[in-house]
């Protein structure tokens, strides 16, 4: 049984454990249109499962770094993660995906993001949130804009990541196609 992180208006965010890693990967690849936005190259389940640096996201309890399952009317419809960056500008980086296009266009993304931002800002006193989708993912960019995220043309990754994080994540998941968006509370 998964532990509830947040529950409000038929939306529930559930903490994940290591046992949920395969589920999260499978949700990302079950709908071809969603998969194309998330993984431009082939990315296998084995590669995902072997990313041991990601284990901290699957503790099953409250942490500044978590993967959470999104449950809507008792159906797991996607996942959202948050990662704390203790850089010059302290921030939480968010990443969300819905498992199927049948769940897009229903305002689920903006509702989940807003719910999580409220929780994280109260729990960790975070005022800056970062989200970095592919520029090709117009649906995501629109959803994030509805939540108050704004595109940063002169994004300086060294302000938002530690030197180690900068090496790993500074270019973003999509390199030059990364669309850097920030929300300041």
- Which pLDDT score, from 0 to 100, does residue 47 have? 78
- Which pLDDT score, from 0 to 100, does residue 120 have? 98
- Which pLDDT score, from 0 to 100, does residue 39 have? 66
- Which pLDDT score, from 0 to 100, does residue 104 have? 81
Q: Which residues of the chain are under the pLDDT cut of 50?
A: none
- Which pLDDT score, from 0 to 100, does residue 52 have? 64
Give all domains of the chain, ordered by start, each with its CATH number: 4-184 (3.40.630.30)
- Which pLDDT score, from 0 to 100, does residue 33 have? 73
Tokens of 30: 């079950």
Distance between CA atoms of residues 164 and 3, nearest Å: 31
Distance between CA atoms of residues 71 and 10, nearest Å: 8
173 within 8 A of 132, measured Cβ to Cβ: yes
């Amino acid at each position: 049984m998964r532990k509830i992180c947040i529950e409000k208006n038929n939306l529930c965010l559930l903490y994940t454990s290591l046992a949920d890693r395969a589920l999260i990967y499978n949700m990302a690849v079950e709908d071809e249109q969603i998969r194309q936005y998330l993984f431009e190259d082939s990315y296998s389940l084995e590669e995902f499962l072997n990313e041991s640096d990601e284990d901290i996201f699957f503790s099953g309890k409250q942490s500044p770094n978590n993967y959470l399952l999104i449950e809507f009317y008792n159906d797991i419809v996607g996942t959202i993660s948050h990662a704390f960056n203790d850089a010059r500008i302290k921030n939480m980086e968010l990443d969300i995906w819905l498992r199927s296009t049948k769940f897009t266009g229903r305002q689920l993304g903006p509702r989940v993001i807003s719910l999580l931002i409220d929780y994280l800002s109260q729990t960790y006193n975070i005022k800056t949130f970062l989200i970095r989708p592919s520029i090709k993912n117009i649906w995501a960019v629109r959803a994030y804009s509805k939540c108050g995220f704004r595109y940063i043309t002169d994004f300086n990754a060294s302000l938002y990541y530690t030197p180690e994080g900068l090496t790993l994540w500074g270019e973003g998941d999509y390199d030059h196609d990364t669309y850097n968006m920030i929300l300041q509370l």
